[in-house]
């Protein structure tokens, strides 16, 4: 296949009006240039041969082989265990990834905020389950407006008052809104108490004229990062037992239990043991991060190696003149200050901190696998993927080191 456009062509065309030309030896592509390349080249972008190491930094990079392996592991596990995945877009906020998840077998996509749902829907993702209740009249109206255009939108609720408000708004919007009852696993963050209170709410939802009951959800966030597979399994099965009993009571009462959603990356291979459970709302599995790597898995007690770290921050060394340390351009605004800190990918004997707003710091131990010079670039495995993604406008999808696509993080900053 012949490439219709050269790299120079792209650079000249970038930036609508103002022709930009960067001499080849400069080798550094800004986000705006890469977005322009991608808009013109589409699926032929990789033929341009832009190396990830030529990207301006800090940049967010996703390794496609690792990402696809993570999707395949999830799908294989779901098929084996007889449940489904309904991945949470709060992690990636990226329509291209949601599309990949649906194409590889996920039954829908979860969202945390109504603005996140709107952004995904604008980009063609239409099987959406909003796991957070909307409680203000403004947000309820917005959600019901979205429902009008997006028939597969499902909304969580956890109080009778909220269910009545939703029903009234649905009627005003001329729709029948699909609703799941959010049940508390014991963390008291969101959700109604399991058992009688949850059953009564489900019965109310079933009766209200503007609502259609689709089932329930119970997300046990407190169990996801429990260290050690056996401990994690014991805790989540114990905490979900009351939700399972609630699901059974709904079923015996003749209510719809087609959805019993919950779980996450830490319990994706445990949740099928909870009776009635239908799908896992996994988020982080698609990228992995330092927080999850440390919890250990069923096969590997030290490292949670079920999924491959796919998301990295590319950073450049700015200062290397002091013994035992180097300074980079990826600080808190590029990495967050979540703990554990980011990990320098592929190296040993060094630690990374991102406590300064604009600067990251590498400290070398005696056994460091290498040292860095000014201008060197390196990759960081992210600390906690969700808030890192929210710092960037786009991520670069890379295979074998070459940029294959530029993905807009369309729901970035959509926190309302």
Ligand X SMILES: Cc1ncc(COP(=O)(O)O)c(C=O)c1O
Chain residues in the site for ligand X (CB under 6 A): 88, 91, 110, 131, 219, 221, 224, 264-266, 281-285
Minimum CB separation of residue 286 from ligand X in Å reads 9
Of 281 and 312, which has the nearer Cβ to ligand X? 281
Minimum CB separation of residue 112 from ligand X in Å reads 6
| Contact predicate 387/333, CB 8 Å | no
Of 266 and 296, which has the nearer Cβ to ligand X? 266
Of 110 and 114, which has the nearer Cβ to ligand X? 110
Of 118 and 220, which has the nearer Cβ to ligand X? 220
Quote the CA–CA distance of 278 and 326 in Å, as a whole number: 49
Minimum CB separation of residue 224 from ligand X in Å reads 4
Beta bridge mates, 59? 314
Which whole-number Å values give the CA distances from 284 to 227, 231, 244, 276, 304, in the listed order? 16, 20, 24, 24, 12
Of 275 and 387, which has the nearer Cβ to ligand X? 387
Minimum CB separation of residue 390 from ligand X in Å reads 13
| Contact predicate 406/50, CB 8 Å | no
DSSP 3-state assignment of 70? Answer: helix
| Contact predicate 87/111, CB 8 Å | no
Of 155 and 265, which has the nearer Cβ to ligand X? 265
49, with CB counted inside 10 A (0-12, 13-18, 19+), is exposed
Helices (H), 157-305: 160-173, 196-207, 229-252, 290-293
Beta bridge mates, 109? 128
Which whole-number Å values give the CA distances from 206 to 88, 218, 260, 320, 339, in the listed order? 26, 19, 16, 65, 43
């Amino acid at each position: 296949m012949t490439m219709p456009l050269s790299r120079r062509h792209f650079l000249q065309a970038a930036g609508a009006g103002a022709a930009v030309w960067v001499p080849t030896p400069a080798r550094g592509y800004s986000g705006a240039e890469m977005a322009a390349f991608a808009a013109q080249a589409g699926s032929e972008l990789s033929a341009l041969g832009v190396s990830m190491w030529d990207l301006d930094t800090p940049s967010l990079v996703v390794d496609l082989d690792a990402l696809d392996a993570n999707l395949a592991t999830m799908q294989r596990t779901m098929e084996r265990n007889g449940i489904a995945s309904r991945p949470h877009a709060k992690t990636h906020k990226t329509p291209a990834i949601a599309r990949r998840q649906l194409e590889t077998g996920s039954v829908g996509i979860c969202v945390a905020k109504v603005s996140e749902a709107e952004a995904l829907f604008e980009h063609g993702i239409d099987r959406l389950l909003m796991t957070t209740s909307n409680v203000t009249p403004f947000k309820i109206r917005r959600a019901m407006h979205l429902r009008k255009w997006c028939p597969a939108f499902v909304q969580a609720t956890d109080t009778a008052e909220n269910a009545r408000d939703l029903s009234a708004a649905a009627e005003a919007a001329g729709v029948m809104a699909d609703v799941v009852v959010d049940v508390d696993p014991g963390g008291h963050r969101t959700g109604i108490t399991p058992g009688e209170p949850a059953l009564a709410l489900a019965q109310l939802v079933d009766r209200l004229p503007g609502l259609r009951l689709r089932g329930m959800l119970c997300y046990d966030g407190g169990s996801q990062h429990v260290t050690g597979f056996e401990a994690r399994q014991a805790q989540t099965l114990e905490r979900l037992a009351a939700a399972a009993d609630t699901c059974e009571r709904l079923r015996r009462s003749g209510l719809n239990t087609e959805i019993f959603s919950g779980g996450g990356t830490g319990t994706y291979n445990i949740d099928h043991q909870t009776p009635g459970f239908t799908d896992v709302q996994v988020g982080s599995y698609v990228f992995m991060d330092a927080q999850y790597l440390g919890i250990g898995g069923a096969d590997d007690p030290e490292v949670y190696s079920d999924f491959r770290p796919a998301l990295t921050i590319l950073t450049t060394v700015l200062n290397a003149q002091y013994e035992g340390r180097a300074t980079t351009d990826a600080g808190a605004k590029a990495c967050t200050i979540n703990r554990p800190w980011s990990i320098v990918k592929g190296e040993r004997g060094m630690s990374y901190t991102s406590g300064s707003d604009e600067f990251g710091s590498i400290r070398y131990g005696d056994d460091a696998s290498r040292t860095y010079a000014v201008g060197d670039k390196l990759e960081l495995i992210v600390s906690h993927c969700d808030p890192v993604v929210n710092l960037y406008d786009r991520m670069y999808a890379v295979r074998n080191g070459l940029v294959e696509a530029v993905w807009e993080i369309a729901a970035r900053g959509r926190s309302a």
